[in-house]
Structure 1
Amino acid sequence: MRGLVLVFAATILWSSVGFFVRLLDLDVWTVLGWRSFFGAIGLFLIMLWQYGRGSGRAIAGLSRAGLVAIPVAALSMFAYVASLTLTDVANVMTIYATVPFVAAGIAFLWLGERPSRRVVIASALSFCGIALMAVTALGGSDMRGNALAFVMTLGFSFMLVLARREPGLPMAPVNLAGALICFFAALPLMPAAWPTPGQFLILAVFGLSTNALAYILFLTGGRHIPSGEASLITLLDVVLGPLWVFLAFGEVPSPMALVATATVLAATTWYILGLRFDRPGLAETEACRS
């Protein structure tokens, strides 16, 4: 029961990203930069908890795989926030839900893993839904947002496969370094006017909760429940993310977005129900998300 509660809490926090972006109503560089800054603080505290005085060695001792993962993590963080400023939250979350299938494609191309029939069928159904949503995009902003959402999905999928290939890869240092890259890249592009104290408080809660707290909640809870259950719970993100912005801001997904969401959720649920992964591995790889 404790594991279920912790994973569900992590999912609630991850699903709030779109809500925070809408609430702040700031430019993408300000949101990205300060979310990354406060997220990096939280991740550093987690590293101190995990490694103690060896935190510096954990960063300095990253393998070649870790060094490859850092810029991918940074790009994924940027694409996540930027996509939410350009298109509906429902569109972004629906595209993100295809991570298992994109990861299966990367694993096939990179590691030579042959996808199962279940993966192929679920992938085909999911991408039919995504294609329908893409061709009915209302304008250039939606198309750019959808494209960035796919970049984010591609980045997270790559990190999942990399973490499976390198099971000893520590994700906290990777996410910390990625967050710092985002902060320093966004800093010179921020407007001269700083956020208000109230906005800074929201940015701090945003970064600490969705970057750091959700990470440790999922990592802890995912070790106490089967991987399939953890994956199914995190699927709630696809429903809850659009729900929060609908309740708070009246953002209503387009009909095609709803069709795509239902299609992807059905395909992903059917796929996950047939999975038999080792429990610790999923917890580590899902924690790639920031």
Structure 2
Amino acid sequence: MTGVKEAQTTKRSDYAVGVIFLIVSALAFSSTGVFSKGVEATAWEVIFWRAVFASLSTTAFVASRSALRSEFLEMGRAGLVVGVIGAAGTAALIPAFKLTDIANVALIYAAAPFIAALLAWRVIGEKVSKRTALGAAAALAGVLIIVAGSIGSVHLLGDGLALIMTTVMASIMVLYRANPHTPSSGPSVLQSLFLIPLALLFGHPLQTAPIEIAILAAFGVFHAIASVTLAEGAKRVPAGQTALLGALETPLAPILAFLILAEIPAFATIFGGAIVLIAVLASLKPTESG
């Protein structure tokens, strides 16, 4: 009986750690729109410099832990798949922010809990609790409120790229849930390495202004933190809840835009963001962590 209680305590503790990782990931990812729109560099130039600095900072972190072999040489097939589709997601995400409103990207990303839950159910047979399903629906309602005032400015190509990014992120969450022993840092670096030559081919990153390179260096570090914490969190939290926690980016992104770019959020953004936050917090319950 004692052993069972210890196992339950460990499971809940592991779940709590996963939630913390995912909140940190959402905080870091919420800066993507600000970084992307805060520079004049083209999408491919942003992708190049973010990839360079993200891969360097992640590799330095792995080296400091003496884990280069386990992270890079033993990532396995799942790690390679994460690297490939993650690169596709990044290649879609940055242009999406350049081609459509940040709020529109957030709206589309709010579908991630539904996509992740469906994929997890079909691929690994993971059930979705009523709490998570209701939380996902409430979060989507909150995001709908946020973007209600910008429906007329939707750009089809940017929204389409955002949908690709959302599907990719949901797939990565399920992959890590299905393969929890897959390294988190190695596949993140692999994503960047795939994108660097493509960015050199399609863009002109070496002509980027030095001040913008410095800004994009910070972007790369934030991306490295976001990717690693997302992977670590996704190993510990059900896929539907992992994606639902990602919805925290929705209210956080306008706040950062206000603080950094002096963009004043509309009342709908504040009201809808509050609904998203409440939905995410209400959906979390350790007893449903399995």
Q: TM-score, normalised by structure 2?
A: 0.75
Measured in 1, the distance between the counterparts of 2:226 and 2:188 equals: 13
2:151 matched to 1:137?
A: yes
CA contact (8 A) 1:94 1:261 kept: no
For 2:282, which of 263, 266, 270 is the aligned residue? 270
2:53 to 23, 38, 54: 38
Deviation at residue 215 of structure 1 after TM alignment = 5.1
Report the AA paired with residue 29 of structure 2: W
Decide whether aligned partners of structure 1 residues 250 and 33 sit closer, same or farther in structure 2, where only a CA change above 3 A counts: same
Unaligned ranges ≥5, structure 1: 279-290
CA contact (8 A) 2:138 2:276 kept: yes
Is 1:50 equivalent to 2:65 in the alignment? yes
**1:174 aligned partner:** 187
- Distance apart, 1:158 and its partner CA: 0.9
Give the Cα separation in 2 of the matches to 1:169 and 1:5: 19
Q: 1:188 is aligned with what amino acid?
A: L
Which AA in structure 2 matches 1:187?
L
Q: How far apart in 1 are the matches of 2:189 and 2:288?
A: 30
Q: What code does the residue aligned with 1:107 have?
A: A
RMSD across aligned positions (CA): 3.9
CA distance in structure 2 between the aligned counterparts of 1:30 and 1:170, rounded to whole angstroms: 28
- CA distance in 2 between partners of 1:261 and 1:159 (Å): 25
> Shift in Å at residue 165 of structure 1?
0.8
| Correspondence for 1:108 | 121
Superposed displacement of residue 232, structure 1: 9.0
Distance 1:117 1:192 in 2: 47
* Secondary structure class of the residue paired with 2:126: coil
Change in 2 beyond 3 A, CA 1:103/1:134: farther
Match among 14, 17, 22 for residue 37 of structure 2: 22
Is 1:199 paired with 2:215? no
Whether the aligned pair in 2 keeps the contact of 1:97 and 1:265 (CA below 8 Å) is no
1:28·1:85 contact (CA, 8 Å) conserved in 2? Answer: yes
Query: Map of 1:239-258 to 2, 5 A cutoff?
Result: 239-251=251-263
Cα drift, residue 85 of structure 1: 1.3
Query: 5 Å matches for 1:64-213?
Result: 64-127=77-140, 133=147, 137-141=151-155, 143-191=156-204, 194-208=207-221, 210-213=222-225
Same amino acid, percent of matched pairs: 26
